[in-house]
Amino acid sequence: MACQGLQGGETVASLKRESESLRKKLEEERKKLSDIELNQVAEKIEVLGPLSIKTRRVLKGHGNKVLCMDWCKDKRRLVSSSQDGKVIVWDAFTLNKEHGVALPCTWVMACAYAPSGCAVACGGLDNKCSVFPLSLDKNENLSAKKKSVAMHTNYVSGCTFTSSDMQILTSSGDGTCALWDVESGQLLQSFHGHTADVLSLDLAPSETGNTFVSGGCDKKANIWDMRSGQNIQSFESHESDINCVKYYPSGDAFASASDDATCRFYDLRADREVAVYQKDSVIFGASTVDFSLSGRLLFAGYNDYTINVWDVLKGTRASILFGHENRVSRVRVSPDGTALCSASWDNTLRVSWAAYL
Amino acid sequence: VLPRMSSKAHGSNNIAHARRTVQQLRIEANIDRIKVSKASADLMNYCSEHARNDPLLMGIPASENPFKDKKHCTIL
C-alpha cells in the first residue's frame, strides 16, 4: 500500500507512547463510572423460582456434528447445518424435514434464515456464503438455484441477513466482517480491526440502529457502525477466544461466550463489562449464548455437553439442562421467546420449553 | 475478495499500524458513558417490564402447543 512517511515529530515510539496513555485514559474513564456492580443493584429483586424448561423434541437426521442453526420468523421452522456439508430445513412442530441441500464443502459453520422465510444462507470451509431460495416444490433441487454471495479468504464462521433478504453480514477466519448485496454479490462494506479469526457476529435489534457486534480469537468483542465501517467500541476482558456474541433484547448490552469457560455481559452505554457468569465447577469452554425474551435468562452451551441457564442480573446459575451427548455448538431462543433450540456435535437438535400443569 | 490478514508487521506498516491504533483509541476514549448504577437500573427495568411475556421464564400451560399462533395482549 502507498505508505506515508513519518509526520512532523512523530515516531513509532511516540505513537506507541500516545496509544499507551490513551489506553490508560480509557481505563480511568471506565473506572470513574463503576459506582456499583450489577449484581449488587440486583440484590433487591426476587430470586427466580425453579424453571420448568425441558427438552420436548429431538430432531434427528443429520449424519454428523450439527454446527449451527437459526429460527425462521414464523417461530416454528428452523435451518441447521452440519460438518458433513448438509443443510436441513425443519418444521420443529411436526419434526418434518422440509428441505435438504448438500454443499460441496464440509464444516458448514454458519447458516441463517432470511427474514421473509423464503431463503437460507450458509457458509463455512468453502470461504463463501451462499443463498438458497426455498422452493414450495419439495422435489426441486435447491443446489441448482444456489447463489454465491460472500467471498472471504478464509472460512466463514457466521452469517446473518440484515433487515431484509437483500443484504447479508458475514464473519470470517480471515479476521474481517463484511456486508454484501445478495443480488449482485457486491461487497458493500468491510470491517477491519480484529487481529485474528472472527468467530461470531450479531446484529443489533432493529430499534437500536445500524450496528453489530463481533467476537473472535483475539479475545476482543467489537461494536461496528454498519454504514461507515468504523469500530465504535471494543471490549477485551476474556482470557481466551470469544466463540459467540449476542445482543441483549434492548440493544443496550451484549453477552459473550468464551473458551475461558466464562460468559460475560457488557453494557454499551457504561462501556464496560458488568457481569461474569462463571462457577468453579464450570471448566469447559462456552461456545454459544442467547437471551430469553425479557433478557433475564442467558442460555449458554458448553463443551461439557451442558447448557447453563444464568440469571443475567444476579449473576447466578438458575438452571442446568442436560441431554446432549456431545458439545453444544449453538443455542437459539425462538423469535417469540417460547422455545430454545440447541444444536450439538451429537448430530441432533433439541427443542425445549417451559410448561406448567 | 478481501485481503488475507497478515500476521507480520513489516517496517513501513509499523507506522501506519501505530497511527491507526492511536486514531482508534482516540475514538474509543472520547465516547460518552453513563454510570454502571444507571445502566444496571435500566437493564433491570427492561427485564421486569418484559418478564410476564417471557414464556421460558413464566412457562406455558402444559396442554398448549407452543408452535401455534398466539394472540398476545401487548402493553401499549
The share of chain A scoring above pLDDT 70, in percent, equals 97
> Is there a contact between A3 and B21 if contact means CB atoms under 8 Å apart?
no
Cα separation, A72 vs A59, in Å, equals 16
Kind and range of the H or E element at A26? Answer: helix A12-32
Q: What is the pLDDT of residue A144?
A: 82
Closest Cβ–Cβ partner in A190, A193, A270 for B36? A270
With vertex at residue A202, the alpha carbon angle to CA A66 and CA A308, rounded to the nearest 5 degrees, is 55
Task: Give chain A positions within 8 Å (CB) of B42.
Answer: 250, 252, 269
Residue A178 to chain B, least CA–CA distance (Å): 9
Q: What is the ipTM of this complex?
A: 0.92
A168, A150 in Cβ contact below 8 A? yes
Q: What is the pLDDT of residue A143?
A: 81
> Is there a contact between A249 and B46 if contact means CB atoms under 8 Å apart?
yes
Residue A248 to chain B, least CA–CA distance (Å): 9
The residue-averaged pLDDT of A54-61 equals: 96
Short-list A236, A233, A258, A234, CA closest to A245: A258
Q: What is the pLDDT of residue B14?
A: 83
* One pLDDT digit (tens) per residue for chain B, 76 residues: 344 444 444 455 788 889 999 999 999 998 999 999 999 999 999 999 999 999 999 999 988 888 876 555 445 5
Short-list A210, A203, A175, A215, CA closest to A191: A175
How many angstroms separate the Cα of A191 from the Cα of each of A212, A225, A320, B24, B47? 11, 9, 36, 13, 32
Cα separation, B59 vs B64, in Å, equals 11
The residue-averaged pLDDT of A146-164 equals: 96
Task: Give chain B positions within 8 Å (CB) of A15.
Answer: 15, 18-19, 21-22
- B23 lies within 8 A of chain A by CB: no
* Burial of residue A43 (number of CB atoms within 10 Å: 0-12, 13-18, 19+): exposed
Each residue's pLDDT tens digit, A252-297: 999 999 999 999 999 999 999 999 999 999 999 999 999 999 999 9
> Is there a contact between B36 and A36 if contact means CB atoms under 8 Å apart?
yes
C-alpha cell at B44: 433491570
Q: What is the pLDDT of residue B12?
A: 54
Closest Cβ–Cβ partner in A4, A250, A274 for B40? A274
pTM: 0.93
pLDDT band (50, 70, 90) for residue A356: confident
> Is there a contact between A176 and B14 if contact means CB atoms under 8 Å apart?
no
Q: What is the pLDDT of residue B63?
A: 86
